[in-house]
């Protein structure tokens, strides 16, 4: 199975900040990587697919980058609704494993 | 619009089985694989497996093989996930989700069900 790691595991930031979350795969996955936002009591919200393509309806302050083993999710000008937990998932090889998540909370 | 509506919360005893349904609408049912993902309390997301509604092909994560069965009913556009020999660690919210790329089986998911809480407790 492909192992996914994320850093940081948690992060405190302020409204208006720019944050970058990192996701790493233990083997190359091309650009077969997605990012999801998860809030308590809600279904995961897809943000990014194919490493850098924005899902429909997702604000442009979200962006993704990377390929093979190293990926980033950047959120420009944090908004109050962005405080959540973020997960990456590879879909290059089954099982389609998720990272352990990065929790973003308000400073 | 695409919708995935899951069945309601369940409480089960250890050793029992649970079946969660995922009724789909707004698209051609047989054209898109359905994934199942779960989240235990305080834990991350865990991919369980996938089913092709056209023909019923399945692929399960090794952790769940022998205990999980994903099936579909094409007449009602519904997918089912049954998990047997339940233990307390199976307490989680279970989600179905539809793949983004039609007929791929190798794409990420775009649309999610609302989730079904399964509680395993004696």
Is residue B3's pLDDT more than 90? Answer: yes
Of B85, B47, B81, B79, give the one whose Cα is nearest residue B66.
B85
* Residue from A35, A43, A101 whose CB has the most chain B CBs within 10 Å, to mutate: A43
Of B98, B117, B45, give the one whose Cα is nearest residue A84.
B45
Q: How confident is the model at residue A23 (pLDDT cuts 50, 70, 90)?
A: very high
Q: Closest residue of A to B117, CA-based? A: A41
Is residue B105's pLDDT more than 90? Answer: no
Residues 6+ apart with CB under 8 A from B6: B20, B21, B22, B23, B94, B95, B96, B113, B114, B115, B116
User: For chain B, first and last CA: distance in Å?
Assistant: 40
Q: How confident is the model at residue B61 (pLDDT cuts 50, 70, 90)?
A: very high
* Residue from B37, B41, B44, B62 whose CB has the most chain A CBs within 10 Å, to mutate: B44
DSSP string, B49-113: EEE-TTT--EEE-GGGTTTEEEEEETTTTEEEEEE-S--GGG-EEEEEEEESSTT-SSS-EEEE-
Q: Of A43, A49, A98, which has the smallest distance from its Cβ to B44's Cβ?
A: A98
Of B78, B86, B83, B75, give the one whose Cα is nearest residue B121.
B86
Average pLDDT over residues A12-22: 97
């Amino acid at each position: 199975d492909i192992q996914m790691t994320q850093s940081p595991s948690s992060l405190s930031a302020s409204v208006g900040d720019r944050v970058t979350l990192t996701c790493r795969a233990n083997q190359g996955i091309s650009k077969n990587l997605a990012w999801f936002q998860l809030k308590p009591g809600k279904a995961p919200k897809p943000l990014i697919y194919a490493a850098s393509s924005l899902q429909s309806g997702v604000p442009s302050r979200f962006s993704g980058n990377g390929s093979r083993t190293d990926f980033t999710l950047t959120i420009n000008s944090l908004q109050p609704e962005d405080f959540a937990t973020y997960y990456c998932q590879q879909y290059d090889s089954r099982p389609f494993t998720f990272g352990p998540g990065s929790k973003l909370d308000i400073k | 619009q695409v919708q995935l509506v899951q069945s309601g919360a369940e409480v089960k005893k250890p050793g029992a089985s649970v079946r969660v349904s995922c009724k789909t609408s707004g698209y051609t049912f047989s054209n898109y694989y359905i994934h199942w993902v779960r989240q235990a309390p305080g834990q991350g997301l865990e991919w369980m497996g996938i089913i092709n509604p056209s023909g019923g092909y399945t692929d399960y994560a090794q952790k769940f093989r022998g205990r999980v069965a994903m099936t579909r009913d094409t007449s009602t556009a519904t997918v089912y996930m049954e998990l047997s020999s339940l233990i307390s660690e199976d307490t989680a919210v279970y989600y179905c989700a539809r793949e983004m790329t039609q007929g791929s089986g190798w794409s990420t998911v775009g649309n999610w069900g609302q989730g079904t809480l399964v509680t395993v407790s004696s």
